[in-house]
Chains A and B, each alone.
Chain A
Amino acid sequence: MAKYVTQRILLMLMTLLIITCICFVLIRMLPPAELPLNDPHTQVIEARREAAGYNKPYMVQFGIFLKNVFTKWDWGVSDKLYFGQDVVKLFATKLPATVCVNLYSILLSIPLGVALGIWAALKKNTWLDYTISTLTMVVISVPSFVFAFLIQYFLSYKLGWFPFLMKEGTDYFSWNMFVSMLPAVFSLSFGVVASFTRTTRAELTEVLTSEFMLLARTKGLTKAQATVRHALKNCMVVVLPAIFGEFIGIMSGSLVIEKIFAIPGVGGLYLNAINGRDYPIFIMVSCFYTAVSLLAGIVIDISYGFIDPRIRMGSKK
């Protein structure tokens, strides 16, 4: 197990390194942003660029970049959008909003999704199951910005329950801030609820028809006891890793939702960096996204082994 985990982590780091290298080289191949002439930061940035090895071979530049990242945690300074600001500090100011919104969203949606899934599975092949399954199908197919539109139009505009956009400021835990986050939270939740409903339902219906459930009933457990003690436990083998993955994923957030509700988060920063061609920010956030998605994958894989001792990780098929 330990060996497998180490192996996976090392592989992940290698993948991350290769992707970072590809991104980095591709970005450095583009002409760097023009610097304004009469700005005090210009000289500083030029000096930093000299130190970062612009005009040297790309692999040397990548070496310097890695050295800076590992020794000083220095990802460079923004040279266009947030002129002269340190990318890491900039990023750190954006992260809380994203994490906050996404955290609320999954705290709301995972219990709801799992509960709906269980409900549908227990009432399999009744109108309730059909309704839930159809709704799940519909919600999964429809993009989140359609939900965002519906919520913004009906709840914010017609009924006036919520503000249109997220409140400005950094008081992430105040009541007003919470209320202003809710439209975004709801829009994000639809997809998550649906996907958890689907996974839970599929898994639980399969478990409920398996033979050990019959055995559990034969040895005298009531239906409720058998379901809670045996079926749910087995169903969680699949659902729990997905929950872990979701928790890792809260950091990356959703570009679309952040744009619509003006959430000052990582997604917005990334979009601005793309549209404004701010390459240092772009590289940093790209690496971050890659790392988050790789990490989520690895956590999901490994947690299978920890949750279910029957699954031997890394054994040959």
Chain B
Amino acid sequence: MSVQKMQNHIEYEHIPAEKFAFVQLDANIHDSRLETKSRGYFADAFLRFKKNKSSLIAACILIALILFAIVSPLISPYTINDKDTVYTKSPPFIASIADKGWGIFDGGSIYNSQNDLAYSYWKGIAAETGMDPVLRIVDTTTTYVKYRGQDKASNTYTLDINRYYATGIVYRVFKYSEFEKLMDWQNETGIQVIYPYVEPKDIYDISDNPNIWYQVSDGKGTPVLDENGDFIPAYSTNTAIEAVPYESLRIEGDDGSYIYSIKKSGALQCRICYYNYYIYLNGHEPMYIFGTNSLGQDLFGAIGIGARFSIIFAILVSAINLTIGAIYGSIQGYYGGKVDLIMDRIADILSGMPFIVCTTLFQLHLAQKVGVVTAFLFAFVLTGWIGMSALTRKQFYRFKGQEFVLAARTLGASDRRLMFKHIFPNSLGTIITSCALIIPSVIFSETQLTYLGIINLQEFAGTSIGTLMSQGQVAMTSAPHGMFFPSIFLSLLLICFNLFGNGLRDAFNPSTRGVDD
């Protein structure tokens, strides 16, 4: 029996080549090549993604928001360091649209309970500078008070006031050379910046209100009107106090006797129309599409700059966390047993640390040595990879016992090859999609910490959305737009990122469709 087997064995071992014959050389193969195009995993996922309308819309909005972040600082005529000291907390304003009177971008904000005195004050500004701050009268209430036996009507207005025109005239102190330059510029462009000087002694010693240029009857600034109901100018003609002879545009009605500046300790003081002075300084009219914040920065550009940082930072953080988490989770999941247990403990301890504690410690220790942003990045990386590693570990447990892994192992594949060539690609879909959900969570935490002021990115990035929002929060009642625009941007960004991420996840693993977490 055993001899027989031995002989067979030998027979099989040395078969001469001529003994072989083809079995089916001319047989027909009935299989035909697949006519349809085969569809890969990613193409399939993309097809499923396209069917999900809400995610698709979210993706479009997301692209628009990212484009906004890239483009808006370029479009905006201001940089983040341009901080106007007068036009702070001002509403959206674009001069060319404001002129059309559509009620948008006109720098208007509602002023409540304005009395006759305030109304005449606005009229005074309009009469002098030619720019009427009162956009419209929203509401008028007339009340009658008995005054010396007579009914005296007094009005209370609710006005829509253009905050840019409302600044009107301000006092400025110039060096003589600057004043010369300003006069030259006036002659060139024909725009009136410098207005005749008014001596406080002519207007009941009102010295803190440069907008009063007319004769008044008391210290509150009640105007004295002529028979036509017009203001009577109170411009000074006292050449004794004039600083330099004025050789430039004179206002209408000036016979050449008005003075335009007075001496002020080695320099000169004059009244200038701030709106026109702004044109002199910046070379263009104010154009604040989203208005300005309490520092006088252009919100339109600032949101873009903050968003740029947030998005780039979030992508960087998730890329780093993805790498660390994937490697850590792979090792954990592949080796299992004791290694898994110990590594799990380490991850447990790290994840037990509240994020805010961790960030603060990094800020206290590292911010001075490696910079605020790097320290911030470390804080995110320290605990951020844990979720990713848990995910990878789960996938490894799922795949490592499967036949294809066994087959590869039989063929002699090394551990590393098995981990990263055979098992890891299977979990790639899950990992990529969770990355899309990490990004919004990073933006969320980053905004929250900058909002609280624990992290200050102003030196590195100029500003951040959280900083803008905390500035907006302070001035919420007087300038709600300062909070409104960053809030809208941030909310849209986060909603779209989440919707997009959910759509991606559903597309990559259809089995979890509709389960939200």
Contact = CB atoms under 8 A, between A and B. Distances in A.
Interface of A: 11, 15-16, 18-19, 22-23, 26-27, 29-30, 133-134, 136-138, 140-143, 145-146, 149-150, 152-153, 157, 198-199, 201-202, 205-206, 255-256, 259-260, 270-271, 274-275, 277, 282, 286, 289-290, 293-294, 297
B476 A153 contact: yes
Contact of A141 (B469, B477, B491): B491
A289 B357 CA distance: 9
B440 interface: yes
Contacts of A133: 516
B473 A198 contact: no
B515 to A, nearest CB: 6
B476 A29 contact: no
Interface stretch (B154-162, B219-227, B242-250, B447-455): B447-455
B495 A137 contact: yes
Contacts of A294: 352
Interface in B465-509: 469, 472-473, 476-477, 480, 483, 487, 490-491, 494-495, 497-499, 502
Nearest to A157: B477
B353 interface: yes
Nearest to B361: A26
Nearest to A17: B349
B40 interface: no
A225 to B, nearest CB: 26
A143 B517 contact: no
Contact of A202 (B352, B490, B498, B516): B516
A141 B440 contact: yes
Given A142-B491, A145-B448, A202 B515 contact: yes
23 contacts: A18-B349, A19-B349, A27-B361, A133-B516, A134-B54, A136-B516, A138-B491, A138-B495, A142-B494, A142-B495, A149-B469, A157-B476, A198-B516, A202-B514, A255-B356, A271-B452, A271-B454, A286-B357, A289-B356, A289-B357, A290-B352, A290-B357, A293-B354
Contacts of A146: 487, 490-491
Contacts of A137: 495, 498-499, 502, 516
Given A30-B365, A141-B494, A290 B360 contact: no
A141 B353 CA distance: 24
Contacts of B354: 286, 289-290, 293
B483 A153 contact: yes
B494 A23 contact: no
A56 B451 CA distance: 38
B348 interface: yes
Contacts of B454: 271, 274-275
Given A137-B498, A138-B495, A293 B473 contact: no
A145 B357 contact: no
Interface in B425-465: 440, 444, 447-448, 451-454
Nearest to B465: A143
Given A141-B494, A143-B448, A149 B483 contact: yes
A285 B12 CA distance: 80
B364 interface: yes
Given A152-B476, A202-B517, A290-B353, A274 B498 contact: no
Contacts of B451: 145, 256
A127 to B, nearest CB: 14
Contacts of B357: 23, 286, 289-290
Question: Which of A143, A277, A297 has the most chain B CB within a 10 Å cutoff?
Answer: A143
Contacts of B495: 137-138, 141-142
Contacts of A157: 476-477
A23 B354 CA distance: 11
B509 to A, nearest CB: 16
B491 A149 contact: no
A143 B447 contact: yes
A15 B517 contact: no
A256 B452 contact: yes
Nearest to B477: A157
Contacts of A30: 364-365
Given A141-B494, A143-B448, A275-B453, A149 B348 contact: no
Contacts of B349: 15, 18-19
Contacts of B469: 145, 149
A141 B498 contact: yes
Interface string B326-367: 000000000000000000000011001110110011001100
Contacts of A152: 476
Interface in B196-214: none
Contacts of B472: 149
Nearest to A282: B360
Most A-side CB within 10 Å, residue of B354, B440, B448, B473: B354
Contacts of B498: 137, 140-141
Nearest to A134: B54
A282 B354 CA distance: 13
Contacts of B477: 153, 157
Nearest to B352: A15
A297 B352 CA distance: 9
Given A138-B495, A153-B476, A274-B360, 12 more contacts: A15-B352, A19-B352, A26-B365, A143-B490, A143-B491, A145-B469, A145-B473, A149-B469, A150-B487, A202-B515, A277-B364, A294-B352
Nearest to A142: B491
Given A138-B495, A202-B517, A274-B360, A149 B452 contact: no
Interface in B298-327: none
B361 A23 contact: yes
B353 A19 contact: yes
A259 B452 contact: yes
A134 B496 CA distance: 12
A137 B492 CA distance: 12
B365 to A, nearest CB: 6
Contacts of B365: 26, 29-30
Nearest to A148: B473
Contacts of A145: 448, 451, 469, 473
A237 to B, nearest CB: 15
A152 B498 CA distance: 26
Contacts of B447: 143
A54 B360 CA distance: 22
Nearest to B359: A274
